[in-house]
Structure 1
Amino acid sequence: MKYKLLLLLLVSLNCFAQNNSFPSDSVDLILKRIQLPQIPSFKIVVTELGAKGDSISDAKPAFDKAMALCKKNNGGTIVVPKGVYTLNGPIHFVSNVKLLIEKDAKIRFSDNPKHYLPMVLTSWEGTMIYNYSPLIYAYGCTDIAITGEGTIDGEGSKVWHSFKAKEGADKLLTREMNHNNVSLKDRKFGLGHFLRPQLIQFFNCKNILVENIKIEDSPFWCLHLLKSQSITIRGLRYKAFNTNNDGIDPEYAKDVLIENIDFDNADDNIAIKAGRDHEGRANSETPSENIVIRNCNFKGLHGVVMGSEMSAGIRNVFIDNCKTVGYLKRGVYFKTNADRGGFIKNIYVRNIQLDEVEDCIYITANYMGEGSGNFPSDVSDIFLSNIFCKKARETAIIIQGFAQKKVRNIHLDTIEVQSAKNGMTILNTENVTMNDVIVGQKATIPTSASKSVKH
């Protein structure tokens, strides 16, 4: 039938069980390197400094005073009690500070772009620029945390959302600046431009904890881990449905643990990145690496994504025991093209439960059909095992290499897609091995010829 595929692929091209084992010892070494932030005992409650949780009054002066007091005391905890606190401008962290947002407390940021000036050094889709400040921003900090059971609301659905339709020229300009190596000091956006800021960005930071908070209504990417290391992200909840609301974006990041997250956002749940094109390749000494993702519930556009901005490289990623809650466009998605360069390698994915998707596993070196062909990426050594999917509306497994740079050493072990419109497409590859791969209804032993058959 046209829309039902009954296909059994039990292919044992070679015995790779040992190579495809999930390297738990490597995961343990990463976890041992990750340090939780050490926060001094000093504590200040924002209401003691004049903040009113009435959803109307501007609480930013009180939050700024609290951060200044923490800096004076070499760090401490800023407590946000029950209430709705409107901030007409960003929170800028200093080192050794925990922002504790208690249950039934909400920080709600204004959506007036002028409140996020002066510009700060940041990144936008893989290119370093000066732009509006992220709503929560930490630059060059150590030992910082955002915890509690409260909510951070980016108010991104009105003014910031209107920027999406106007961003095209600025997006193109960032890419031209990247490709032409324009001096960083001349990459100025902000007022008069339309590049939305991230909700939370940690930039050049170390020993980071984000735990148990709820993230809502981000203007752009929700949580951006930029050039940072020793990071723990756990227990978060999402309700972020604006355009480009990626959940978590590690970029040039290392030693990262992401666990026990309930995603519900209108783009990639987790997108691992490492800079775009010329600029990314120039930063090849800082790939995104040593990232552990486990025990997460996926809901949104895509589950776990590598790329497409990954020109400094992505390696040593370990994804384990995750599942979907509802529909995803793609479950496991690796994307790059011939402008990127860099590499995606040593990726281990196991124990993934997917409900309904468009495509279950999608690995492409020809994303969007873009690229001059001068900088194909090296995609290799990817191990996918124990992946179950109920239904793929389109294709169960897609692996697309680039003609001049084949995708290689891809290992599929114990993959089952119960229903799919199309089985698999594998192009421009080398050494793709499969064992116990089932698309459609599992075949049994062949039946014998019927006695009624005439010759």
Structure 2
Amino acid sequence: MTEHLITEYGARPGFDCTAALGRAIQACELTGGRVVVPAGLFLTGPLRLRSNVDLHLAAGATLRFHADPATYPIVRTRWQGIECLSHSPLIYAYDEVNIAVTGPGTLDGGASLETWWRDTKPVDDWNRLLRMVRDDVPVEERIFPPGHGFRPSFIQPYHCRRVRIEDVRIINAPMWVVHPVLSSDIVIRGITVDTRGPNNDGCNPDSCRDVVISGCSFDTGDDCIAIKSGRDADGRRVAQPCENIIIENCRFGTGHGAVTIGSETSGGIRHVLARDLHITGPHVDHALRLKTNSHRGGLIEHITLQDCTVDSLTAAAVLIDTHHADPELTGSHPPTLRNITISGLQVHHAPKTLEIRESPQTPIHHLTFTTTHTAAAPRSS
């Protein structure tokens, strides 16, 4: 495999190496292979991966990203389930094939309460984006220039194929951490996500197909793994489900839901198998959480949680909520939930085993819950 060491392109520890990384990626695109970040602390702005490039962080390497929004160009992205043009993710790829981020080193997003986490959802920009969707404004005209708009995801392959993210440690993310969108053939293996800021979901396959998440560790400020498929009318416009997802042999220490479906479910979510998971707690709320509402809609089916061990949870081991953030059921697109199977769930401590918040518009069809052992409180609905 051809290797391109970034120090050979002008990078120096302790200095900005954005240009050097760009030159190394450009050269690697021609040959295929690895762009190698050696041991040391290197500073950078946003990076754009290209086909056949593996961004590899060697042992002892830290790549720390700038936190100035003005340095992030606008790109096509998806923010909370809605497509727009906003800040580039820290590591971004669009319409590429065979890309990777690997190695035992550390990716540091540079986010803090003084930077990205200071303004978690700019109200004016968010309301403007919602109006654009309501008014059928084309995605290409939903523009939020640098310094406006929304916190970026950390790693976002957008409309890509054959994606591999392996072994890296990721800290201080601005927003969602690993966020593939409209992509396929994805392997996320052995990564450690330790970032507890607002909306720091650990891994968010979003309208993706054929995804394996294996041997990973999550300590997050929001959901650990959250499977999504677009929000409300914009998700229905794109109409791409998230499907064929395997989650296995992962550890969860901090976060709202270890495995969450939603709440952005408008394109549908199906064929999800989560098995051999270990929730160590004590700061995880749910082992499995399904959350959607009458605005999201979408078909959620064939969801399986199998052989999961829970040391401790702060809330119900399994929560199914069909009117999440929608207590009055004001939407006209009730979702459909069916064929949900939970087996081999061992819970040592939790306030409840199963909690269901369904509505007349959205009854849950074919829920199977077997072989559950718990020292916790009873089921409720």
Superposition TM-score tier, normalisation by shorter sequence? over 0.9
1:406 and 2:360 equivalent?
no
Q: Provide the C-alpha distance between the structure 1 equivalents of 2:247 and 2:353, rounded to a whole number of angstroms.
A: 23
What one-letter code is carried by the residue in structure 2 that aligns with 1:235?
Answer: G
SS of equivalent to 2:125? helix
Q: Paired residues, what number?
A: 376
Aligned match of 2:132 in 177, 185, 190?
A: 177
Question: Residue 108 of structure 1 is aligned with which of 50, 57, 64?
Answer: 64
Q: Could you tell me how far 1:368 is from its partner in structure 2?
A: 1.5
Change in Cα spacing, 1:396 to 1:122, as seen in structure 2 (3 Å) is same
> What CA distance in whole angstroms lies between the structure 2 residues aligned with 1:178 and 1:412?
39
Cα deviation for residue 185 of structure 1 reads: 2.1
Give distance in 1, aligned partners of 2:127 and 2:306: 37
Structure 1 residue matching 2:344: 3-state secondary structure: strand
- Alignment of 1:48 with 2:8, yes or no, is yes
**Residue aligning to 1:145:** 100
The residue type paired with residue 373 of structure 1 is G
Deviations 1:353-406 (A, max 9, x none): 11221111101111122552310000110000011112223x321122221231
Which residue of structure 2 aligns with residue 136 of structure 1?
91
What is the aligned counterpart of 1:68 among 15, 22, 26? 26
Cα distance in 2 for partners of 1:159, 1:81 equals: 27
Contact 1:238-1:265 within 8 A present in 2 as well: yes
**Gaps in structure 1 of 5+ consecutive residues:** 1-40, 427-455
TM-score under structure 2 length normalisation? 0.96
Contact 1:178–1:277 at 8 Å: present in 2 too? no
Identity of aligned residues (%): 34
Give the aligned partner of residue 222 of structure 2.
Answer: 267
Partner of residue 341 from structure 1, selected from 266, 275, 297 = 297
2:146 is matched with which residue: 191, 196, 208?
Answer: 191
1:191-210 equivalences under 5 Å are 191-210=146-165
8 Å Cα contact 1:207-1:231 kept in structure 2: yes
1:249-398 → structure 2 map (5 Å cutoff): 249-284=204-239, 286-301=240-255, 302-327=257-282, 328-357=284-313, 358-369=315-326, 371-393=329-351, 395-398=352-355
Distance in 2, matches of 1:399 and 1:100, equals 44
SS of residue paired to 1:144: strand
Which amino acid in the other structure matches residue 416 of structure 1? Answer: H
Provide the alpha-carbon RMSD of the alignment: 1.3
Query: Partners of 2:375 and 2:29 in 1: how far apart?
Result: 56
Give distance in 2, aligned partners of 1:319 and 1:68.
Answer: 38
Shift of 1:194: 4.4
Moved more, 208-217 or 351-360: 351-360
Distance 1:169 1:392, change over 3 A: farther
Kept in 2: contact 1:43–1:79 (CA 8 A):
yes
Secondary structure, in 3 states, of the residue corresponding to 1:274? coil
Q: C-alpha distance in 1, partners of 2:317/2:191?
A: 25
Decide which of 205, 225, 238 is 2:180's aligned counterpart: 225
Unaligned runs of 5+ in 2: none
Q: Which amino acid aligns with 1:50?
A: G
Residues 376 and 402 in structure 1, CA contact (< 8 A), matched pair in contact too: no
Shift of 1:175: 2.7
Query: Residue 415 of structure 1: which of 366, 372, 375 is its match?
Result: 372
* Deviations, residues 115-163 of structure 1 (Å, cap 9, x unaligned): 112x000010000000011000010000011111000000011311112
Q: If the length of structure 1 is used for normalisation, what is the TM-score?
A: 0.80
Which structure: larger Rg?
1
Counterpart Cα distance in 1 of 2:349 and 2:145: 44
Q: Report which structure shows greater RCO (CA 8 Å, sep ≥6).
A: 1
Write the deviation string for residues 40-90 of structure 1: whole angstroms up to 9, x where unpaired: x3321001111012x2x11111101101112233x2211111011001x21
C-alpha distance in 2 between matches for 1:193 and 1:114: 8
Q: Distance in 2 between matches of 1:180 and 1:404?
A: 27
